[in-house]
Chains A and B, each alone.
Chain A
Amino acid sequence: MTNIIYIVSLFIIATGIICQFSNNSISKTAVLMMPILFSIIVLIFIGNIKNFRFENIYPLLGTGIKPTFFTGLSNLFAFSGIAYLLFLPSKLKNPKSFKKIALTSVILSGIFLLFAIANIVFLFGNTLSHIAVFPLYICVRYIEFGTFFQRLDAVFLFLCTIGSISFLTLNTYLVVEILKDIFYVSDNRPLVYPYLLILFSVALTIKQNSVLEFMENTVSKILFFLIVISSTFIVLISANIKKNKERNVMKN
């Protein structure tokens, strides 16, 4: 097995190199990766169609009304990507196009999620919980385009790795931008490496999958609802109050 230090180093160094260049390199990496990742998700769907059992969608309400629509609300966490939209307006050349960009981002996230979930549901139904391997990876292992293309999982993992680097780069950029504003630093580049070093150390300290699952399924969900959902509403309500006050002042 490959030492985890090498794997984490690969991500950290690639992220460091991209962040060292201008902001354009981050957006260009994302723009380059997005269609590739989108194609691979669609390709997995198409490649697995012959294995799909569309009846797996039944019963329509899954485990019941309460678990699906009430306790299942926390699954909105899957849309945590919209948190990035909060940081976007100040970075746009044309802030007026924000609405269009936000809408496109949410639709694209929805399509990604729809294809990924459909792959898993149509292939496994509700019997997947016993398998320890990453579900979408198992979906890829079912794909066989004739006798020539039979091992697409390696390609999938490679593209996932590059996609993850792109994702990590965006996160790093936003964190460094926040740190830059907090510490009044003119250039954000010197902050990249200390941050990545901390990230590298934290990544190595996590030894068990259960910790990652706890972070993903519990901590991240709480943070999503506290920061993304609550803060959005607080900002919206505050902005409305402020706007109303300004109107009143103008009238007076």
Chain B
Amino acid sequence: MKELFKWSIIIITTFIFLNGFVASYNAESIDHLDYVIVIGVDTIENSNNFEYSFEFANISSFSENASAEDNKPIINKVSAPSITGAINIMNSYVGKQINLSHCKVIVFSEEVAKKGLLPEVSALINNTQIRPTSNVLVAEGKASDYIQNSTSSLERVLTKYFDAFPNSSEYTGYTSNIILGELYTNIINKNIGATAILGRLVKTSNKEQSSGSGESSSQSNSGGGESSSDSSSQNSQNEVQNENNQQSESQDTNQTPNQDKTQNESGHDNSTKATSQDEAVLEGDRGTENIGLCVFKDDKDVGHLTAMETLCYSIMRNDVEDFFARVDSPFEENQKIDLAIVTLSSTKINVNTNQENPIIEIKLNITGEALNGLDKLDYSKTETLNKINDSLKNYLTNEMLNYLNKTSKELKVDINEFYKSAQKNFLSLPDFENYNWPEKYQNAEFKIEINSNIMSANLIQNS
């Protein structure tokens, strides 16, 4: 009896493990999966469907012997009513099962963002494959064009490229590392607004791409016949359009690689104001830029933040560790002084809700060093440093007040989560809900206190 029992257990366990390991050789095997790196969502004219673009990882491009051909993006598009429907159709189209666990970025076009993101974001957050740490980006123009142009000669491996692209938020503050989980929790929170990274095609690349994408589209239609793209039939049925390796040859030949340059001599100032393609100041082999933020009220796009406004947003969230500022010289008219600023401690926010309208006090503690003007000014003098300090304080205070007034009065959303500081003044959630923060925030008064300590870069040598 004991032997029988022992053998029964062994046979049942072996059977279960065999079945478990058989999965390695079926559709769920690593060899039978296609990894999606980027998902793009676009609207379709006169249709309730969306156009979903899936950019896949090209495994062969990871090898050292990979040619330039291998690095071209593999983008497949599908028209479907929802992301889940799009995944299903794409699964049947690509043959292998698509896997979203390595999806780095989700790109929505501006039009989709204006319609509302909640249905899509909600479906994505409850998908166990997609990570809540995936970045969310709103592209001015078409999301598919943004994805098509998101390549760089400086980083040929696609996954690394998308891993690294929000990193500049830590040392420039011109963008912010907005992730899917954060976007979702902010969208469903009625007290605050949400944000997403703002992306756009760079000026020259856009022109080339618009002709390039049309060309590639016609190639795909007349070419292999693997798929079709007939806009008239998009309303009635789901379609798949293959854009594998479709970067146009004209684009490759016209663009000079590794030649990034600014168009404007005073590019620093202009770049910080860049909000749209018309004002973009970059040109280079990378076809896209990610500067600024898209602001949502509920789940709808209500406006965009410029680079400088994004820097103010990042400073208040303690997301930026160091940044550059170009302030008016207190010593000479029409002259500027470049300063490298470092935040010394986290920004302190205090909200007074005792008055009719909330009073929001923001305290910054920063230090920094002057990067130019060393030949004319004596930075060892306290008086000189005090004047530069005052100039910096004025500059930052004005910029931050402009930003805060824009979010509160114009966009009418609290995107810096000031409501969390306001909640400290209330004992329970019903009390806070009665206060009606979303309405009160629109009339909020802001007080900014900056404690700055500017030093010369070569103070030691001078002394």
A61 to chain B, nearest CB (A): 5
* Contact present for A61 and B428 (CB under 8 Å): yes
Interface: B438 (CB within 8 A): no
* Contact present for B428 and A62 (CB under 8 Å): yes
* Contact present for B16 and A6 (CB under 8 Å): yes
Option from B9, B23, B431 in Cβ contact (under 8 Å) with A59: B431
* Cα–Cα, bound, A56→B186 (Å): 13
* Contact present for A59 and B132 (CB under 8 Å): no
Q: Closest residue of chain A to B429, judged by CB?
A: A63
- A residues near B184, Cβ cutoff 8 Å: 131
Interface: B458 (CB within 8 A): no
Given contact pairs A9-B16, A17-B9, A141-B132, A53 touches B430 in the complex (Cβ within 8 A): no
Q: Closest residue of chain B to A53, judged by CB?
A: B420
* Cα–Cα, bound, A82→B101 (Å): 39
B51 to chain A, nearest CB (A): 27
Given contact pairs A17-B9, A124-B185, A10 touches B423 in the complex (Cβ within 8 A): no
* Cα–Cα, bound, A141→B13 (Å): 31
* Contact present for B185 and A58 (CB under 8 Å): no
Interface: A250 (CB within 8 A): no
Binary interface encoding of chain B residues 4-41 relative to chain A, with 1 for a CB under 8 A from any of its CBs, else 0:
00000100110010011001000000000000000000
* Contact present for A13 and B133 (CB under 8 Å): no
- B residues near A141, Cβ cutoff 8 Å: 131-133
Give the contact stretch, choosing among B121-129, B251-259, B266-274, B399-407. Answer: B121-129
Binary interface encoding of chain A residues 109-126 relative to chain B, with 1 for a CB under 8 A from any of its CBs, else 0:
000000000000000111
Contact residues, B126-151 vs A (CB, 8 A): 126, 128, 131-133
Given contact pairs A6-B19, A142-B132, A127 touches B189 in the complex (Cβ within 8 A): yes
A125 to chain B, nearest CB (A): 8
Given contact pairs A56-B420, A147-B163, A130 touches B122 in the complex (Cβ within 8 A): yes
Interface: B323 (CB within 8 A): no
Chain B count of residues within 8 A CB distance of the other chain: 33
Interface centre among A17, A141, A151 (most CB of B within 10 A): A141
Contact residues, A58-81 vs B (CB, 8 A): 58-65
* Contact present for B133 and A142 (CB under 8 Å): yes
A209 to chain B, nearest CB (A): 13
A15 to chain B, nearest CB (A): 12
Interface: A235 (CB within 8 A): no
* Cα–Cα, bound, A53→B319 (Å): 13
* Contact present for A59 and B133 (CB under 8 Å): no
Interface: A187 (CB within 8 A): no
Contact residues, A30-79 vs B (CB, 8 A): 53, 55-56, 58-65
* Contact present for B126 and A133 (CB under 8 Å): yes
Interface: A132 (CB within 8 A): yes
* Contact present for B426 and A59 (CB under 8 Å): yes
* Cα–Cα, bound, A61→B423 (Å): 11
- B residues near A17, Cβ cutoff 8 Å: 9
Given contact pairs A13-B9, A17-B9, A142-B132, A63 touches B428 in the complex (Cβ within 8 A): yes
Contact residues, A132-171 vs B (CB, 8 A): 132-133, 138, 141-142, 144, 147, 151
* Cα–Cα, bound, A55→B9 (Å): 53
Interface: B417 (CB within 8 A): yes
- A residues near B13, Cβ cutoff 8 Å: 13
- A residues near B189, Cβ cutoff 8 Å: 125, 127
Q: Closest residue of chain A to B163, judged by CB?
A: A147
Interface: B427 (CB within 8 A): yes
- A residues near B185, Cβ cutoff 8 Å: 124-125, 127
A59 to chain B, nearest CB (A): 5
Q: Closest residue of chain A to B424, judged by CB?
A: A58
Given contact pairs A141-B132, A141-B133, A142-B133, A59 touches B423 in the complex (Cβ within 8 A): yes
* Contact present for B427 and A60 (CB under 8 Å): yes
* Cα–Cα, bound, A6→B16 (Å): 7
- A residues near B122, Cβ cutoff 8 Å: 130
Option from A10, A59, A151 in Cβ contact (under 8 Å) with B427: A59
* Contact present for A58 and B126 (CB under 8 Å): no
* Contact present for A59 and B429 (CB under 8 Å): yes
Option from B128, B163, B421, B426 in Cβ contact (under 8 Å) with A133: B128
What 10 A-B pairs have minimum CB-CB distances, sorted nearest first? A55-B420, A58-B423, A64-B428, A61-B428, A59-B426, A127-B185, A61-B427, A58-B424, A59-B428, A63-B429
A-B contact pairs, 8 of them (CB 8 A): A6-B19, A56-B420, A58-B420, A58-B426, A63-B428, A124-B185, A125-B189, A127-B188
